[in-house]
Amino acid sequence: MGKLITTKEFIERANKVHGNKYNYSKTNYIHSKVKVCIICPKHGEFMQDPMGHLHGYGCMECSRLGSKKKVYGVGINDYSGLIREKRKFLPSYKYWASMIMRCYSQSMHRKRPRYKDCTVCEDWLYFSNFKKWFDENYIEGNQLDKDILVKGNKVYSPETCCFVPSKINNLFESSKSYRGKYPIGVSFNKQWMKFETHIRLKDRRIFLGYFNSAEEAFEVYKKAAEAKIKEIAKEYLEKGLIKDYVYKEMIKYEVNIND
């Protein structure tokens, strides 16, 4: 390395090489042959030869993961355990890979354009982080939802996602392709030249009436839909099929005309 440098000078040089990626709060530079402690923001502390570090070497775990084939170009399986049990993927891995696919697969976007603008938060691009959250929140058979806690949300993250039964998930489907240009829950009956609305209750499609305007039909649908959401939220909470925080958001949920 040439002349002896100080710890401060070593850190300044290291930051120029690595673009301020690492934390050097525990670094104590003695000379070029004594390893120093460096902190990776993702993988914690590691010891490294100072000269090698200034020549571009960094966190070995970052290097190892970077060499792995990424799931749909972004997802990283950094889990140290097995992702298969008895030849089947762990449920947590299947949910994670499916989430990554919805957000980053071009073939998925061609089939379901509504996912084209969706993303996954940086933490959840790493399977181990998603698995930890999954193990703490998953209820068997439930679906991963990103819209109930934060309406109109496009980002999958611990703060915006929850697990709910498919019956609840279906309550929040907008079905725009079915209703066309009309508000949620409303369609136009060409035979009667009236606007109509329906709601599904206990697996039956219930007719709520004909109306002269789409707005009138929507108001009737809105009242019925919000009542149904509250009823199902209470039922599923009592059965232990949703978490308490999901229930609290569901009973506050409002159906808007532009949904």
How many Cβ atoms are within 10 Å of 16's Cβ, its own excluded? 10
Residue 162 maps to a domain? no
Per the structure, the count of domains in the chain is 3
Q: Are residues 246 and 191 in the same domain?
A: yes
Q: Are residues 115 and 49 in the same domain?
A: no
Cβ neighbours of residue 124 under 8 Å, at least 6 residues apart?
A: 96, 99, 130, 133, 156, 157, 158
CB–CB of 29/12 below 8 Å? no
CA distance 94 to 83: 9
Q: Are residues 39 and 90 in the same domain?
A: no
Residue 128 amino acid letter: S
Range of the domain at 182: 168-252
What does the pLDDT read at residue 12?
95
**Best-predicted range by mean pLDDT among 31-45, 68-82, 170-184, 196-210?**
31-45
Q: Are residues 88 and 57 in the same domain?
A: no
Residue 154 maps to a domain? no
Q: What is the mean pLDDT of residues 36-43?
A: 92
pLDDT digits (tens, 9 = 90+) for 128-168: 999 999 999 999 989 999 988 998 899 999 999 999 988 78
Residue 185 maps to a domain? yes
Q: Are residues 172 and 237 in the same domain?
A: yes
Q: Are residues 189 and 129 in the same domain?
A: no
Q: Which two tokens stand for residue 94?
A: 């299947």
What does the pLDDT read at residue 153?
92
Residue 244 maps to a domain? yes
Q: Are residues 106 and 173 in the same domain?
A: no
Q: Are residues 177 and 218 in the same domain?
A: yes
Residue 196 amino acid letter: E
What does the pLDDT read at residue 179?
55
Residue 259 maps to a domain? no
Q: Are residues 195 and 229 in the same domain?
A: yes
Residue 145 maps to a domain? no
Task: Work out the pLDDT band at 67, boundaries 50, 70, 90.
Answer: low
Residue 74 maps to a domain? no
CA distance 39 to 21: 9
Q: What is the mean pLDDT of residues 83-89?
A: 85
Residue 221 maps to a domain? yes
Nearest C-alpha neighbor of 166 from the set 187, 143, 140: 143
What does the pLDDT read at residue 1?
43
Q: Are residues 223 and 185 in the same domain?
A: yes
Angle, vertex CA 44, rays to CA 42 and CA 46, nearest 5: 125
What does the pLDDT read at residue 133?
97
Q: Are residues 92 and 57 in the same domain?
A: no
CB–CB of 180/154 below 8 Å? no
